[in-house]
Amino acid sequence: MNLIILGLGNPGTSYEYSRHNVGHLFVNRLAEFHKSSFHANQFFEVCSFPFEDGKLTLLKSVNYMNKNGFGLKGFLGNIKGTKHELVIVHDELDLPLGRAKFSLGKSAAGHNGVSSVLEQLDFSPPRLRVGIEATRPRNLPPSEFVLSRFTCDEQITLGSMFPTLFHSLKLIVNQGLSFAMNYTNSYPSNKPATI
């Protein structure tokens, strides 16, 4: 199986460590872990490398969040041969920092990046929702909070989750999405012996 991960976010260094860019942070860290790098095409920055018995392809849109889905249908249509699974990774305000959950068939719930993806596709791909909720000042609206930057301590918390989530991708390939969902959605989080 070839696994395709689209990490949602905004392009540019000014957004790099914002809460809304968890999807980009995730695929960036995954590429670094596998000593691979991105190259740009018309709609995405793309990174591919061997993964288990197939290939892992990482995507980051070159457009802003509300257009993250542009070009995705064409990209998927150009992939031939081996079965592939698409997973969307994005920030989730309804989950606390340090938690993550896979979901299937959920609505966009106001997330502009997810809405853009669903508008472009004729199916709803599985989504890895990474919690970003922390102590938010009452006078700070959610639209501004998601664009705020993670503190150094929050970045450490986020980074500590990634080995578990990377292992979840292996489980999708080797044991199926349902198994990976059960592993990832459990609380307290599972810790892989190896990644």
pLDDT in tens, 120-143: 998 899 999 999 987 777 788 888
Question: In sequence order, what are the beta bridge partners of 49?
Answer: 56
Encoded tokens for 172: 């999708």
Which position among 20, 24, 90, 167 bears the catalytic label?
Answer: 20
Is CATH 3.40.50.300 the classification given to domain 2-185? no
Pick the residue with more confidence: 137 or 39? 39
Domain positions in the chain are 2-185
pLDDT band at 29 (very low <50, low <70, confident <90, very high): very high
Taking the C-alpha atoms of residue 127 and residue 23, their distance in angstroms, rounded to an integer, is 11
Tell me if residue 20 is catalytic.
yes
Helices (H), the chain: 22-33, 72-77, 112-120, 142-145, 152-175, 177-185
Average pLDDT, the chain: 91
Q: Do residues 148 and 16 touch, judged by C-beta distance below 8 A?
A: no
Residue 48 gets which letter from DSSP?
E
Encoded tokens for 81: 């041969």
